[in-house]
């Protein structure tokens, strides 16, 4: 059934005012329905997410408890006490890695060391050969997306102190090195299954890596959907 167009130019001022009021009332009603739907949906989703979080937390705790006994026995059997950041255990069919990672961190004195190194290196840029060396050093001092220096690059700088044999350069590198304050990240677990061909398939253990269940597909943000 085709909709009939309404010519509002034929409305009297009173009729137009009444029509606009009706449209506004309907719009306000729809918005209230939307807000109510949001209010009803959030608790349902949050309950599921809290439950999933608790399940993951319990599984993580139990897994580390399992391997705490394994590591304790390993130390006794081999007569050592390992201080490595991660441990990998595997069979022909499964593999599990537990551990933590180190995040680079620096205190604010690093900036003084960087400036000292940069001032000295900049003074060397006198010809094509030294300009290339300057570029290398500046790249070593380049920060990552989080604004941190990379610790492995500072090791390269330390090697260059012997080559330059300059007090200011060496002092700057020393200041940077002493400003290094690494922090331990959260404990992690990685698990995978191994098929007959030795191919590993990771078991997703986070919300971002796990897929939707069944055949469900969230297509709301699909371009075709948006343009409908």
Residue 140 confidence (pLDDT) above 80: yes
Instruction: Verify that 74 and 95 share a domain, yes or no.
Output: no
pLDDT on residue 3: 54
Instruction: Verify that 44 and 62 share a domain, yes or no.
Output: yes
Instruction: Verify that 50 and 160 share a domain, yes or no.
Output: no
For residue 221, being part of any structural domain is answered with: no
Percent over 90 (pLDDT), the chain: 25
Distance CA 173, CA 195 (A): 49
Instruction: Verify that 79 and 97 share a domain, yes or no.
Output: no
For residue 228, being part of any structural domain is answered with: no
For residue 141, being part of any structural domain is answered with: yes
SS3 192: strand
Instruction: Verify that 40 and 52 share a domain, yes or no.
Output: yes
In the structure, what pLDDT confidence band is assigned to residue 90 with cuts at 50, 70 and 90? very high
H or E element: which one contains 95?
Answer: strand 94-99
Residue 34 structural domain: 11-83
Q: Burial of 11 by CB count in 10 Å (0-12 exposed, 13-18 middle, 19+ buried)?
A: middle
pLDDT on residue 4: 60
For residue 6, being part of any structural domain is answered with: no
Instruction: Verify that 160 and 195 share a domain, yes or no.
Output: no
Distance CA 51, CA 43 (A): 12
Residue 9 confidence (pLDDT) above 80: no
Instruction: Verify that 92 and 197 share a domain, yes or no.
Output: yes
For residue 4, being part of any structural domain is answered with: no
pLDDT on residue 17: 78
Instruction: Verify that 94 and 119 share a domain, yes or no.
Output: no
Phi-psi region of 91 (alpha: psi -120 to 50; beta: other; left: phi over 0): beta
pLDDT on residue 147: 75
Per-residue pLDDT averaged across 114-136, rounded? 79
Residue 226 confidence (pLDDT) above 60: no
For residue 191, being part of any structural domain is answered with: yes
Residue 95 confidence (pLDDT) above 90: yes
For residue 192, being part of any structural domain is answered with: yes
Q: How many domains does the chain have?
A: 3
pLDDT per residue as tens digits for the range 142-178: 887 777 788 888 888 888 888 888 898 899 999 999 9
pTM beyond 0.85: the answer is no
Instruction: From 122, 146, 144, 150, select the one nearest 135 (Cα to Cα).
Output: 122
Instruction: Verify that 174 and 190 share a domain, yes or no.
Output: no
Token code pair at residue 94: 């499964």
């Amino acid at each position: 059934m085709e909709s009939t167009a309404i010519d509002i130019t034929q409305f009297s001022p009173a009729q137009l005012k009444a029509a606009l009021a009706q449209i506004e009332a309907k719009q306000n009603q729809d918005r209230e329905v939307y807000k109510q739907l949001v209010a009803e949906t959030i608790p349902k989703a949050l309950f599921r997410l809290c439950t999933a979080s608790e399940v993951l937390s319990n599984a993580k705790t139990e897994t580390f408890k399992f391997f705490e006994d394994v590591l304790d026995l390993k130390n006794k059997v081999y007569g050592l006490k390992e201080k490595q950041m991660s441990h990998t255990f595997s069979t022909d069919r499964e593999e599990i890695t537990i551990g933590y990672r180190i995040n680079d961190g620096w205190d604010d004195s690093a900036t003084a060391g960087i400036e000292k190194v940069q001032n000295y290196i900049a003074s060397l840029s006198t010809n094509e050969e030294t300009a290339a060396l300057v570029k290398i050093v500046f790249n070593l001092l380049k920060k990552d997306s989080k604004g941190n220096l990379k610790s492995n690059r500072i090791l390269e700088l330390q090697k260059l102190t012997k080559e330059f044999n300059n007090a200011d350069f060496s002092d700057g590198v020393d200041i940077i090195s002493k400003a290094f304050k690494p922090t331990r990240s959260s404990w992690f677990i990685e698990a995978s299954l191994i098929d007959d061909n030795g191919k590993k398939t990771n078991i997703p253990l986070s919300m971002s890596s796990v897929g939707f269940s069944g055949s469900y597909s969230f297509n709301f943000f699909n371009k075709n959907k948006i343009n409908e």
